[in-house]
Structure formats: structure tokens, C-alpha cells
Amino acid sequence: MIRFECDYAEGAHPQIMQAMMETNMEQNPGYSTDEHCQRAREYIRRACQAPDAAVEFLVGGTQANVTVISACLKPYQGALCAASGHINVHETGAMEAYGYKALTLESPDGKITAEQVEKAWEDHIHNASHEHMVQPGMVYISWPTECGTLYSKKELTAISQVCRKIGLKLFVDGARCGYGLAAPGNDVTLKDLAELTDVFYIGGTKVGALFGEAVVITNLEIQKDFRYYIKQHGGMLAKGRLLGIQFETLFKENLYGQIAQHAIDLAMQIREAFVKCGVPFLFDSVTNQQFPILTAEQKEEFEKKYAFELWEEVDKEHFAVRFCTSWATREENVKALTEDIIRICG
Amino acid sequence: MIRFECDYAEGAHPQIMQAMMETNMEQNPGYSTDEHCQRAREYIRRACQAPDAAVEFLVGGTQANVTVISACLKPYQGALCAASGHINVHETGAMEAYGYKALTLESPDGKITAEQVEKAWEDHIHNASHEHMVQPGMVYISWPTECGTLYSKKELTAISQVCRKIGLKLFVDGARCGYGLAAPGNDVTLKDLAELTDVFYIGGTKVGALFGEAVVITNLEIQKDFRYYIKQHGGMLAKGRLLGIQFETLFKENLYGQIAQHAIDLAMQIREAFVKCGVPFLFDSVTNQQFPILTAEQKEEFEKKYAFELWEEVDKEHFAVRFCTSWATREENVKALTEDIIRICG
Amino acid sequence: MIRFECDYAEGAHPQIMQAMMETNMEQNPGYSTDEHCQRAREYIRRACQAPDAAVEFLVGGTQANVTVISACLKPYQGALCAASGHINVHETGAMEAYGYKALTLESPDGKITAEQVEKAWEDHIHNASHEHMVQPGMVYISWPTECGTLYSKKELTAISQVCRKIGLKLFVDGARCGYGLAAPGNDVTLKDLAELTDVFYIGGTKVGALFGEAVVITNLEIQKDFRYYIKQHGGMLAKGRLLGIQFETLFKENLYGQIAQHAIDLAMQIREAFVKCGVPFLFDSVTNQQFPILTAEQKEEFEKKYAFELWEEVDKEHFAVRFCTSWATREENVKALTEDIIRICG
Amino acid sequence: MIRFECDYAEGAHPQIMQAMMETNMEQNPGYSTDEHCQRAREYIRRACQAPDAAVEFLVGGTQANVTVISACLKPYQGALCAASGHINVHETGAMEAYGYKALTLESPDGKITAEQVEKAWEDHIHNASHEHMVQPGMVYISWPTECGTLYSKKELTAISQVCRKIGLKLFVDGARCGYGLAAPGNDVTLKDLAELTDVFYIGGTKVGALFGEAVVITNLEIQKDFRYYIKQHGGMLAKGRLLGIQFETLFKENLYGQIAQHAIDLAMQIREAFVKCGVPFLFDSVTNQQFPILTAEQKEEFEKKYAFELWEEVDKEHFAVRFCTSWATREENVKALTEDIIRICG
């Protein structure tokens, strides 16, 4: 079985494993106050060209999302997000468990628009009963989205401007951030993300680390006492060095960018093979997740040799599925897959 | 200005005021442990033909909803409800503030179906990632709905059966319960509500009381320690007698039913006048809230003499508005209104 | 049985009942946006000499406490309070249910000191692990305390100064505020409370109203969006006029002060009778709650004729009990009691 | 500088690092559904002689505590614990953030007794206002305690019996569980912990792992849907295999016991050296944390060569400090320390 079902099936990139081995017997202070974390913070600030940003490390995405949301919102406020947003769908109500409502906006492809954000705010504030309703307090977007799609710099800038005009905080969930940066046609940089948002995170778990997300905070209000939030949310790793070592390795010399590029190159080969065969896609993804819509027959044929994820039953005869690549995907496996695409769907 | 904008513009029914005056200097123990509350409980159990039900009194609807929801759900569970449900829209995230997610179902008229409930459960439980999602734990419906519509006994029974099959608790928000019972064509009784639900409440605030909602709990699990929930939620009124006296007055000899009938009779006169003129409605309401869709001109004309609520801008030229009746609505005012409907819309 | 067990056994002062009767058929907008509430706000601002204060009305004390606390604290902060404070002991964890920890300070008589507050802050901030601990964010005190004791103006000022130096918010729970104002030797005014605190409330439930607490907010940060908090906490009374009418009546011409004075005068008669007989007290209360320590025999003798509350078993032979007076206490009953004190304990 | 300040200064035991290297390129399903986790679960069930226990893995102690507490309590319940308990002191209010109150019991040495638990319950249930107070719902104890002390089997059994009689759940925080098992004089086994508690955890972070705590659940009610709690609390590690691999290594052939024994043997050498010199201890610890009380002069002398933690200023001239050993502590360093103890304190 050749596996394409997710981007976290393996451990970590070998350079990370090596760094962890080499530093294993070092004695470090706990809770991400060590030198590895300090260096990792510096590398990330440099990569973002954000010398005043606070950088904090969390273990996983749900933890990062809910910790940031808690630091952004007042109790009576909620987070505007796409209905398909990870916080609304796939976190077992983690944000609600801390008291915050997801204020969902419809979206066919996982993206929301500056216009939707502005309208939601206007609708709220002009409603005579607005005190009886949850007030929008922030905007949550995923970049790339859960559908593999990307906001352009223009789209992000428009959302950012609306947020600043209204007074909403803007948070970008970058669990797969690396794959967005490497995507063909992408014009957004880490510097843009740092400038346009109040807070965003650079995902490690899905881009080569064993685990870890680096939260980059430019908004001073969110920076304040952020580490209290981390501890309260159970996210203060005792051996915080582990997070430092991983991000140090990823950002010292742009290993992060290289491994994401590898994944994107292979994802594009898969994409092109499906395109060539006229297979339609559920979402027009330019990142490491591809969502072709297969017939029942095609799906069955692929299943003999490949592992991938069933995403959605489009109708009784058609199934949207997901093929993922990652830093660990091997070229020969993609070669085999693309040949089989031609054979099965061609 | 003749006022039809809501059903809580006046104080309380004169019989309630008189009872409060007469008992004012009595000395009673606090926190609804007094004899008025005991008697009110008995009258309500009798009206529901539910001798083993627990009956507890809360001050208002949001408080009642969130207290009941807390007693029904585990932290990782949510409440299935219509997207237009009061808990989802008009309680400033009260349930989320206690940690619970509203799991919304689409509905054009404020009602949801047994099929929707069953499908939501099936979708959850068959999802490979279901542990990553909020588990449905209860169903919340309003009877009448926020749109003035009513579930029939057959519809309620179907929802109840699905809930019992699956293991979901069923909660009916009866803030306007009296108006439902009195509605033309209604075939649901308090006994039915007690039998078909795990817990429901009989609204006082909008049906003649100064304030107060009587929560009727048949499910033993929800009964257990329910008063702790009331106190924790700030709902344990020191002078609980006030709730007892009001519901005692309403249910001793069916004053509740009589005043609701009065409101319904007048609402139907308004409805018929609009129907006669061919004015369309936003919702097909058989209760004390009527939602005609007026042209801009008609709306302006009515506004000269009447207060009513703007509900929704249907398009630039058409506005859905709400006219409410209550126990306090005067017949001569309805006569004036119906004549004006004929004049303006006829 | 002559009853002295609490200060909320009766309904409301007759003037309040009369006002509610007279206004019953008025049509008012809901949610405390009516003219009664507006006037009551004005009267209270005048009484506090705080023209810029926001005044909001809540139904009961637990609700008022938890709503204010939510508006004061960030999620990782807690409220410093006496271990005997109402929020720590008698609210079924209402503040914890919204996520906030009570940070208790020891106190023999229900009062805490400026020194305790400052030390708690210093201990926190100098602790190397302070991010692992709940940060003090506010001080909660009761005035009068649950023990009937009072802070002097000097003591309150000291606490206020420490809070402002450190950056903690100061909240005074004035559930029995009226009785404090009327107490012999008291030198604190409503103006002082408004000036020295960020927010406090004037209790109605225990001082002559059917229910209701008037929250006076001078801190602009807490004023902001406070009504969202009220609604979220289930405290937005539909017929908010009821709160307005009651506080309007109490503060139009200082009925509040008069009825509190009545209660205090009678409480002092009871106190002096016990003092004269050499009966010790659990707390040195100058307000409407008196806590004599009776022998088992004395207690039994009183129980034949009077209702009062057992407060604490001091030892097998001695019992601290509580006698309360209120606006409704009758002079002849106090006369009977004082005579019996002399007879039984003399 | 020779470091004794905590038990998590290094990475992981070399065998764990080796296992992580060897399995790095394996493809595993996520979220602890992989074979390493399955095997680790089996090894732990075997070590506990608890074939029906559920075993779930969490990343850290605060996360484990709050997840378990959420699964044990109803919203109006709290956890009885020593005032010095980790959940009360060092988790930034994590449990309160989810709505649960810590109900503290006084303890000079970090241990509480069956009598204290029973009395707390009796006091609650016999209080006339018990509905106004947080109901005890569980007992939380640390084994070893934060003071290094241990409950004997007899003490644990007594607490367990009281809990079962009353209906409280018993949860043991075993963050340093390994050091308790290896302590001289200890008569408690993993089997005992599994039998006497409803749920406990075996700490990895402080006993040789990079991170990770293995929660062992024997109570069926807590087992149910426990993984929803994990996800909601941000504790569902994507590459859950990492937890499986570590606990697999620790429990396959009792590496866990061996490394704990190493730490204990060295801690006892340190302890004996202080005892020999007549140095008093803050707590009578038999585990890997030792708390001698040093004079200012002695402390200063040690600080020239050793890192250790200041625990408490006993008085101006005396300081309780903490020396920790771990799996990674080197014998030659302990030899140097014990010689210096004799030199400085002898």
C-alpha cells in the first residue's frame, strides 16, 4: 500500500531527529525559556521580518487555535470564520469549551471575503437587539484553507484592512502554512502574514516536525501575558526545548521552505495527471492536498494500491477523495501514482 | 401610538398583581421552598398530568435555557437546533459561555424535523473523525417557534421517538407555550409536552406574569441536583415566593389558558384582515405573532399610528414586520388595526 | 413564631408595591431601556455624586457578582477575596463556572486588608513560576461583610489605593449596602463607594425591594459593552421596568436610607440587650445581622418563640446564631425579643 | 555548575531516543490509533494487572489533570484536594477555566486523609444551604505529592473506601509515579493504584520520556467518550505514535522501574548526607525530591557549585531548597554533592 492519506504519517525530517539526538543530554531550563527556543524565535522573527513580534511555541493546532482565540476575544465576542473552518468543525468544540462562539460564514471553497466580514459586522452593529447577540471580535482564516485553497495577497490585504477599520483582530491558522508559501502562483510571504494579521501560526506538525506550531504575535495586546494563556490551556511543554530544537532546525537555513517545496512539486504532478485526464476537482487546490472527484469504479481501482482519504460523497456514483503529499513523500511513489492516474482515468 | 411590538410591554395580569399585594407581608422561607411554590408545582403537575415531574421556577428565558442545557449535556456535546433558534441567535452566546456548542440545522420556518435530527446523528456517528467533532447530545426546539409556527403532535412525537431511539434528550422552549396551546388547529397538550420531552418550560414572562418560567422535568437524570444548576447560574431568586405566587395564580384555575386564548383570538383577527387583502406572510403563523410582508408605502402608513417591529428587509421594496398580541391587548385597538389594514392594503 | 432568620422573608416595601400597581398597565420598552430605569439611574448617580457612572440593574446578587467579575477579569486572572466571601462560599461556583478562580485570603471577621492584597500581588509577581499561577486581577469585598462587619473609610481607601497602584480592579458587593450606610459609627458614603471602587452594587433584594441590585460602574473599561455581559449571563430582564420602578421608588427621596435606618435601630436594640447580659458575639457586627453565641440551653429557650439561624457550632455547648432585622421588622417584636434576652441570658 | 534543580532538564532516556529514530520513517495512522500505542496500552494494562482498563496518552500533566477532571465532574461539582495540590496552585487555573472549583483541604505535607474527605462531604451534605455550595464530586491526590511524600497502601485504601462509600471519584496524579513505586518503604503497586482509583496517570515527562502521561481508567463512566475530552482539550496529538513509542519502550521490560530506581538510590544518598549532618527537612520525602532547610551561609556555599531550587523562605536566616534527581543524574555528581554536604553542613 502506497500512502497518500495525510501529511503526518511519518515522524520528523531526519535533520530534526538528528538535532534532537545531539542535544538530548543537554541540561536546559523548562517551559521554552531555553536557548534553543530563543534562537528559534530569532530565526522566525527574521524570516517574518518582524523584529518585535513575540513568538511562542505550542504542541498542536487545536491547542494553538483555542489559546490564541482566548487571548483575542472578550467573553461576549465570537470569531467570524468559514463554516468549514477547522475551529468550527474539527476541534470537538474546543473554543466553545472556553466560552467562545464560532460565527460562521458560508463559503464554497473554504475562503471568506472582506465583504462578508464587513457585512457581518454591519449586520450586528445595526441590529436593534445587538446586545442580545454575540459580537464579532475577530476573524479566523486558514491559510491554506482546509480545502487546499489560498488567499492571494490582495484578498488577505482586503480582509486585514476591513478588520483594522472595524476593530476586529485577524488570526491566520497556518497549520499548512509552508505548503501555501511554496504553492505555484502564491504571492504571500511570511512578512505579509506578520504585517497583515494580529497573530498567526506557522505549522510544524504537518510540515516536517514531530509536532509543534510557532505562534507569531505582532499585536501588543495579544502579546501581553500570552504565556499565562499557554499554561492555562495545558500547552506549556515542560521540555519546551523540543519545540525550540525543531523550529531552530526548520528555520536556521530555510529547511522549512525546502521540504514544503518538495511536497508541492509532487502534489502538482498528481494534480496535472488528473487534469490531463479531465478528472474534475472538488476544490481548486494549489497546495499539497488534492481533491479529485472519482467515479466509484476509479476509486475502487485506486484503492487496490493506494491509501487516500474519502472526503465527500458527491453523489451515489461520484466521490471526492483527498491525496496528500508531504516532506516525506517519495518521488517514485508519485511516479507510480501518476502513471496509474493515466491508466485508470485517462 | 397603539402598540403591537411585543408581548411583554405591560406589567402582569391584574389577578397576579392582586395576589402579590395580598401576600406581601407574609413571611416565607427563601429560594422557592415556600408554600406558594409548592402549590404552584402541584397545579402545574396536575395541568401536565405528570405527577412525578419536578417543577422548578426561573426568572427568564435565557436563564432557563442555559440552565437546562447545562443539566442535559456533557462538555463535548452540543444541542441540535434550528439555525433561527433563540439559543443560537438571541442569547449573546449564553450556552457557549458555559461551554456548549449550538449544532444548527437549516429551517425555513423555525421548525426542524425528526429526519434532520436522525441524519445529524448518523452523520456524526459514521464520521471517521467523530471524536474530533461535537457530539449531538440533545435537541432544542421552541414551541411555538420564533417564527410563530407550531409543531403538530405527530411532528413532536416523531422527534421524540428519534431522540429516544438515539439517546438524545429533548428540550422544548415554551417561552410562548400558552399561545401554542390556544392556537387554532393545535393538537398538542401540556400532557403531550410532558410525555414527549425530557424537560420543557412553560413561559410566564410573555404570557401574563411579571416574569418567570416554570421548568417541568420528567427525566430523572435531569431532575437530579437541578437546583445546584439554578444557583450556579444565578437563577435562585431569594424571594422565590414571587415565582410561586405568579404560577399559582396562573394555574389554579387556568387563567393561563384564558389569557392566551384572548391573545390568539385577536391575533387571528389581524391575520384574517391581512389574508383578506392578499398580503403575503413571511411565516405561516397560527400564534400571537404575525409576520405580514408590507410594501414600503404600506409600512410607512401603518407607522403613523401603530408601533410594530421590523423583522426583515425582504428586498428594497418589501419589509416583513411583526405584530404581536398578548393578554393585555385591547379589543378596540385590534378593531382599529383591522380597519386600517383593509384601508391601507385592501 | 416571631421571625428574625433573614432579611428577605417578606415581599417589598409598600411604596414599591404601590408603584408597581400604579404603573402596571403602562406600555414600556423592554430590557431596562424604559423611563423608569432612566430615572432610577439618575437618582442613583445623584445619590453617589457620580454623574458619569453607568448604572445597570440585575435581578439578584449571585448574578450581579458573576456578571461584574466576568467584565473585570481576563481568563487567567482571579479575584482576591476573603475566604468567607460570598463568591467563594455561597454561589455554587458561579464564578468558576465562567472560568474564574477565587483567590482566598484568610480573615477572622470577613474583612481583608490592603496589606494582604499587596502581599498577594507581590508574592505572585515575584514568584519565578508566576505564569503557572492565576494572576490576581481584582479585589472583591463585601460591604457590609457576610459577618456584619464594616470597612471604615480609611480601610477602604487603603485597599483602593493599593489596587490602583498595582492595577487591580476593586469591586464592592453591596448586597446589604443600605445597612452599612446606616450603621452606627460608619463613615462611608455612597459617594465614597463610587470614588474608591471601579464598580459596586447597591442591594435591593435585602433592603426593601422584591428583588434587584443596582450596579454602579465608574471604570470606563468595565462600562464598555456591559449590557452584553448582562444578557449573556441570563440577567437581562424582559420587563426591566420592574427594576427601574423599584429603584426609582427607593432613591427618589431616600426611602432606601430610611428603611435601612429602621432595621439598624432595631438591630442595635437587640445587640445592646445581649451586650448588657454579657453574651459574647461571634463577630462584632454593627449592622442588621447580629451573631450572639448562645449556650445550648439559651438557644433552646429562644427557639420556643423565635425563628433565627444557626450559624456555627462553636463547641458542643455553644452555638453562634444569627438574628436579622430588616425594613419589615416590627418594633413590638423587637421589644418582646429584648425582654426575653434579659430574661433568658440576664 | 552541577544541576539538581528539576527532573526534566534533559531530553529522554537513550532507549527512547533510539526507538524514535528507528521508527521515524514508518507510516502510522494518527491520533494514537497506531500499533505502538496499542502495544503500549497492552504493556501498561499488564503492568497494572488491569486487563479492562482504558489507557490513553496525553502530552503533559496539566492537560492530563484537566481532561480527567472534566470527565469526572458535573458542572456544579468540585475536586477535593490538598491546598498544595498541583491543580490548585500551579496550573494557572486550568480547571477553573473549564468551570470546576478546587475544594481545598489543609495539609502540612501535601497529603490529605480519608477523615478529611469524609468530613468535607458530611459538612456539605448536612449544610442547609448545600445547593448554594459546590458539591464535592471527586478527590484529587498526587502520588508522590508535590512535597515528595507518599501515601501508604493503608492510607490510599482508606481514601478509596471513603470515596466509594460516598460516591466520589478518586483520581491520582502520578506525574512522579515511578519515583513513588521505587521509594524505600513504599508498599503501593501499579495494581493497587488501578484497583483503588477510578483513574490515575503514570507520568512520563518526569520519568525518562520526552513528554507524555499515560492515563489509566478503570471506571467505565469515565472511559466513555474519553477521547472526545482529549480532543476538546487540545490533547489529541496528531503523531500520537510518539506517545506510543515512548511508553512502549518504558513498559516493555520495565525500563520505567529501573530508571526510577536509579533516581531514588541517588536521592537517598543525598538525603542521608543531610541527615548525617543534622540538617532538618521541610518535608520528610522518600522520593526523588529532597527539601533540606539550609542556613543562608550554607545555601550560598552550595550555590557556588550546584543549581537547585529555592522552595520557601522559612525565616530570614533559613531557606528550604529542593534537590532533584532523575534517570539522568550521574553518580559522580551525587558523590561530589554528598561530600560537599559533609564539608559544608557537617
DSSP code string of C159-203: HHHHHHHHT-EEEEE-TTHHHHHTSTT----HHHHHHH-SEEEEE
CA distance C91 to chain D (A): 5
The percentage of residues in chain D with a pLDDT greater than 90, rounded to a whole number, is 99
The percentage of residues in chain B with a pLDDT greater than 70, rounded to a whole number, is 100
* Residue D73 with chain C: CB contacts under 8 Å: none
The answer, for D89 touching chain A at a CB cutoff of 8 Å, is no
The percentage of residues in chain A with a pLDDT greater than 70, rounded to a whole number, is 100
How many Å apart are CA C94 and CA D101, to the nearest integer? 9
pLDDT at B235 over 90: yes
Task: Decide the pairing of beta strands C199-203 and C169-173.
Answer: parallel
Q: Answer for the pair B168, B79: CB distance below 8 angstroms, yes or no.
A: no
How many Å apart are CA C29 and CA C27, to the nearest integer? 7
Q: Which residues contact D268 (CB under 8 A, 6 or more apart)?
A: D184
pLDDT at C195 over 90: yes
- Is-cis flag, bond preceding A14, omega within 30? no
Mean of the per-residue pLDDT values for chain D?
97
Yes or no, beta carbons of B132 and A90 under 8 Å apart: yes
- Domain coordinates in residue numbering, chain C: 2-7+256-345, 14-253
How many Å apart are CA A48 and CA A194, to the nearest integer? 6
Looking at residue A26, its amino acid is E
B282-291 tens-digit pLDDT: 999 999 999 9
User: What is the mean pLDDT of the segment spanning A142-162?
Assistant: 98
Grid cell, residue C217, equals 460602574
Burial class (CB in 10 A: 0-12, 13-18, 19+), C313: exposed
Intrachain domains B2-7+256-345 and B14-254 with the same fold: no
Grid cell, residue C206, equals 435585602
Residue of D173, D230, D253 lying closest to D205 (CA atoms): D173
Neighbouring C-beta atoms of residue B313, cutoff 10 Å: 11
Grid cell, residue D121, equals 462531604
Q: pLDDT at position A269, please?
A: 98
Yes or no, beta carbons of A205 and D239 under 8 Å apart: yes
pLDDT at B1 over 90: no
Q: Which residues contact D127 (CB under 8 A, 6 or more apart)?
A: D133
User: What is the mean pLDDT of the segment spanning A197-223?
Assistant: 98
CA distance D145 to chain A (A): 18
Residue of D278, D323, D270 lying closest to D299 (CA atoms): D323
Instruction: Find the angle CA(D273)-CA(D275)-CA(D280) to the nearest 5 degrees.
Output: 125
Yes or no, beta carbons of A236 and C99 under 8 Å apart: no
D242-267 tens-digit pLDDT: 999 999 999 999 999 999 999 999 99
Q: Which CATH number fits domain D14-253: 3.40.640.10, 3.40.50.2300, 3.40.190.10, 3.30.2270.10?
A: 3.40.640.10
* Residue B26 with chain C: CB contacts under 8 Å: 10-11
D149-186 tens-digit pLDDT: 999 999 999 999 999 999 999 999 999 999 999 999 99
Burial class (CB in 10 A: 0-12, 13-18, 19+), D215: buried
User: What is the mean pLDDT of the segment spanning A302-310?
Assistant: 96
The answer, for D329 touching chain A at a CB cutoff of 8 Å, is no
Burial C91-114 (b: 16+ CB within 10 A, else e): bbbbbbbbbbbbbbbebebbbbeb
* Partner residues linked to B104 by β-bridges: B81
Q: Which residues contact D346 (CB under 8 A, 6 or more apart)?
A: D276, D277
Q: pLDDT at position D127, please?
A: 92
Q: pLDDT at position A1, please?
A: 86
Q: Answer for the pair C253, C49: CB distance below 8 angstroms, yes or no.
A: no
Looking at residue C293, its amino acid is I
Rg (chain B; Cα; Å): 21
Q: pLDDT at position A255, please?
A: 98
* Residue B74 with chain D: CB contacts under 8 Å: 225
Task: Decide the pairing of beta strands C289-290 and C318-324.
Answer: antiparallel
Counting one residue from chain C and one from chain D, the pairs whose CB atoms sit within 8 A come to 54
Query: Chains that contact C by 3+ CB pairs under 8 Å?
Result: A, B, D
How many Å apart are CA B103 and CA B110, to the nearest integer? 14
A73-124 tens-digit pLDDT: 999 999 999 999 999 999 999 999 999 999 999 999 999 999 999 999 999 9
How many Å apart are CA D202 and CA D217, to the nearest integer? 11
Architecture of domain B14-254: 3-Layer(aba) Sandwich (3.40)
Phi, psi (deg, nearest 5) at residue A327: -55, -25
**SS3 of C112, please?**
coil
**Rounded (10°) angle between helices A114-126 and A153-166:** 20
A15-70 tens-digit pLDDT: 999 999 999 999 999 999 999 999 999 999 999 999 999 999 999 999 999 999 99
Q: Answer for the pair B201, B279: CB distance below 8 angstroms, yes or no.
A: no
pLDDT at C1 over 90: no
As for the ipTM of the complex, it is: 0.96
Mean of the per-residue pLDDT values for chain A?
97
CATH superfamily for domain A2-7+256-345: Aspartate Aminotransferase, domain 1 (3.90.1150.10)
Q: Answer for the pair C32, C240: CB distance below 8 angstroms, yes or no.
A: yes
* Residue B75 with chain A: CB contacts under 8 Å: 97
DSSP state of A233: T
Q: Answer for the pair A37, A241: CB distance below 8 angstroms, yes or no.
A: yes
B167-217 tens-digit pLDDT: 999 999 999 999 999 999 999 999 999 999 999 999 999 999 999 999 999
Phi, psi (deg, nearest 5) at residue B274: -65, -45
Rg (chain C; Cα; Å): 20
pLDDT at D83 over 90: yes
Q: pLDDT at position C109, please?
A: 96
C41-94 tens-digit pLDDT: 999 999 999 999 999 999 999 999 999 999 999 999 999 999 999 999 999 999
Q: Answer for the pair C243, C59: CB distance below 8 angstroms, yes or no.
A: yes
| pTM to 2 decimal places | 0.97
**Nearest chain A residue (CA) to B91:** A132
CA distance D77 to chain C (A): 8
**SS3 of C97, please?**
helix
Yes or no, beta carbons of D90 and C132 under 8 Å apart: yes
Q: Answer for the pair D244, D36: CB distance below 8 angstroms, yes or no.
A: yes
